[in-house]
Amino acid sequence: MSAQGLAGAASPAEPDELDVLAIGLQDTPAGSASLGLRQRVPTGGPAPPGLALVLSVRGSPHLHRRADLPAVRAALRPRDNEALRSWLGGYGDELIASGADGPALVDLVAARMRDAFPGDTATKGELSAAVTPLLPEVARPWCESCGVAHVAEGLFRLGTLFAGVELVPDDGRVMRLRLASDEPTVADAGEEAMTLLLRSFVRLAGPVAPADLAAWLDTRPVKALPVWLKPHVDELVDELVLVRIDGAEPLWAHPEAVAAEAGAPRSASARLLPPRDAYLLGNRAFLVPDRTVARTVWRALGSPGVVVVAGEVAGTWRQRASGRTLRIAVTAHRTLTARQRADVVEQGELVAGVRGRGERTEVVWEE
């Protein structure tokens, strides 16, 4: 919590000073990144122009510093078809079987996006429709659910990152995109870029197991390091240390995090963190040892937010708007003190404030 700016007094004064932005704050569902930012930088207000919402890790919306985007692009640019496969789901096998040059296709998709971007802003469907006719057949497989051939989902999402396409923050009902005013650049970091990104991940989200690194970067359900990622992990592992918590299997940790742990501030107050917050990255068995609770925290679809007390997940929460009332349903997985329950009520007001719709809040405690 301290490394990610969730320790109160250690939090930075300005959003763009927030270290966790090196790995990004995920915005799934829409608005999550704004709440994650507000929990770390209590000054409030909209995200400053130095931050950008883009499709980055796993093609998911993430809030990053604009200054970091060249390095993020360098890290996430696939070096070969095996690396690209991690973005493409089942279509990855089809692409590899075709013999096509996957990284070149990514570049082509990005170039066509910039050339054919329809208007000041566009929905995901509008941009896909504009780009698809300009691509070779291998890049636009038949989509059974849409009933049409269109640019492959993974190629589209990765292409936006290299085209300099950003998401327009809204209520999330429709993904709306825009072109950044500046030409997108890629840092000249070569093979080191991914190692640098992994180092930030371990320092901010550790301790971790190798499979945690793969789960963070791969769109497929993986339990081990994919071949393309292993060299980057091998390069990093010599500088990490093994730690063991409560007799569990040893995990990797960054030495800076281990050194800082003893002096990290503790707080007994309760916080409401959004679904998929960066706090929930890393090793799940370490973060939530109770497997029954873990299944409620990480769901394939519709994960809840979490109640965090003293650095531990103490419950989950969901929000639902009804007229001018924002109802926040909280399920505690351990006994909370009266003060902590009062914190949750105050946090409900904060959640409503981030939404910016002038709603009154109602906190409901569920079993």
User: Which pLDDT tens digit goes with each residue over 285-335?
Assistant: 999 999 999 999 999 888 999 999 988 999 999 999 988 999 999 999 999
> Which two tokens mark 22?
């090196």
Same domain? For 196 and 244 the reply is yes
Residues 322 and 232 in one domain: no
Q: How far apart are CA 325 and CA 360, in angstroms?
A: 5
The alpha carbon torsion through 115, 119, 122, 125 (nearest 10 deg) reads: -60
For the chain, what is the domain count? 3
The domain boundary, picked from 261, 286, 320, lies at: 261
Residue 292 belongs to a domain with what CATH number? 3.30.70
Long-range contacts, stretch 159-162, CB < 8 angstroms, 24+ apart? 159/106, 159/109, 159/110, 159/113, 159/131, 160/54, 160/55, 160/110, 160/113, 161/54, 161/55, 161/56, 161/72, 161/73, 161/76, 161/110, 162/73, 162/77, 162/106, 162/107, 162/110, 162/186
Instruction: Assess whether 171 and 202 both reside in one domain.
Output: no
Provide the pLDDT confidence category of residue 257 given band limits of 50, 70 and 90.
confident
Residue pointed to by tokens 């932005």: 21
Give pLDDT, residue 51: 94
Assess whether 151 and 199 both reside in one domain: no
The pTM of the full predicted model, rounded to 2 decimals, is 0.94
Q: How confident is the model at residue 59 (pLDDT cuts 50, 70, 90)?
A: very high
Largest CA distance in the chain: 63
- Tell me the three state secondary structure of residue 110: helix
Q: Is the pLDDT of residue 34 over 80?
A: yes
Q: End of a domain among 132, 158, 179? A: 179
What's the mean per-residue pLDDT of the chain? 90
pLDDT at 42: 75
Separation CA 140–CA 261 (nearest Å): 49
- DSSP symbols for 4-62: TT-SGGGS-SSGGG-GGGGT-EE-SSTTHHHHHHHHH-TT-SSPPTTEEEEE-GGG-EE
Find the domain containing 140 and state its range: 8-179
- Measured distance CA(301)–CA(57) in Å, rounded: 17
Same domain, 109 and 230: no
Is the per-residue pLDDT at 348 higher than 80? Answer: yes
pLDDT higher than threshold 90 for residue 167: yes
**Among candidate residues 258, 199, 228, 236, the one with its CA nearest the CA of residue 86:** 228
pLDDT for the residue 44: 59
One domain for residues 256 and 275 = no
The mean per-residue pLDDT over the stretch 140-169 comes to 92
Sheet holding 165-167, edge to edge: 121-123, 176-179, 165-167
Residue 186 lies in a domain: no
Q: Are residues 167 and 28 in the same domain?
A: yes
* pLDDT tens-place string over residues 104-130: 999 999 999 999 999 899 999 999 999
Q: Are residues 212 and 253 in contact, defined by beta-carbon separation less than 8 angstroms?
A: no
pLDDT in tens, 174-200: 889 999 988 899 988 777 999 999 999
Residue 184 maps to a domain:
no
Q: Are residues 20 and 144 in the same domain?
A: yes
Q: What pLDDT does residue 172 have?
A: 66
The reply to whether 232 and 301 lie within a common domain is: no
Regarding whether 196 and 158 lie in a shared domain, the answer is no
Look at residue 163 in the predicted model and tell me its pLDDT.
97
3-state secondary structure of 292: helix
Whether residue 250 sits in one domain with residue 298: no
Q: Residue 361 — very low, low, confident or very high, per pLDDT cuts 50/70/90? A: very high
pLDDT of residue 221: 83
Distance, CA of 48 to CA of 60 (rounded, Å): 21
* Residue at 1 is within a domain: no
Query: Is residue 185 in some structural domain?
Result: no
**Burial (Cβ within 10 Å: 0-12, 13-18, ≥19) of residue 134:** middle
Q: Could you tell me if 324 and 227 lie in one domain?
A: no
Lowest mean pLDDT among 9-18, 49-58, 144-153: 9-18
In a domain, 361, yes or no: yes
Which domain-ending residue is among 116, 151, 179?
A: 179
Alpha-carbon gap, residue 274 to 318, rounded angstroms: 9
pLDDT at 171: 61
In a domain, 126, yes or no: yes
